[in-house]
Structures are given as C-alpha cells and as structure tokens.
Amino acid sequence: MPVWAVVPAAGRGTRFGAPMPKQYLEVAGRPLIAWTLDALLGHPAVAGVVAVLSAGDSDWP
C-alpha cells in the first residue's frame, strides 16, 4: 500500500545556534533535507513526499 510522507521542515533552529535552519545545513556536501527527501523518495512504499516549510522561507535551495 503506497503512502505519502510529510516532512516538517518549518523550524528556524534558533536554539541550535547555526546561521541557518538545521534542515539546510550541509552534511557530506548536501543539505540535510536533501538526504531525508532522497531516502523517502527512494523507498518503494512511498508514493510521494510533502515538505512543509515556513511561509516566505528564503533558505530553500
């Protein structure tokens, strides 16, 4: 049965203290959110992915 994944990525990560939200920080040369989305989209049971961002998110690649 195919499912859709919802990835909440609207946080600013202010307690983390980084210059940008955690989901956009690079890990092994790619934004963390890219690793997450690719893993979900590569799963055979996942029909699609919805990334939930903040309104006016200027950091989205």
16 or 48: which carries more pLDDT confidence?
48
Go through 9-36 and write b for each residue having 16 or more CB atoms within 10 A of its CB, e for each that does not.
beeeeeeeeeeebebbeeeeeebbbeeb
pTM of the predicted protein model:
0.81
Residue percentage of the chain with pLDDT more than 70:
100
Q: Is the pLDDT of residue 45 over 80?
A: yes
**46-52/30-31 β-pairing:** unpaired
> For the CA atoms of 4, 29, 59, 49, what is the dihedral angle to 10 degrees?
-10
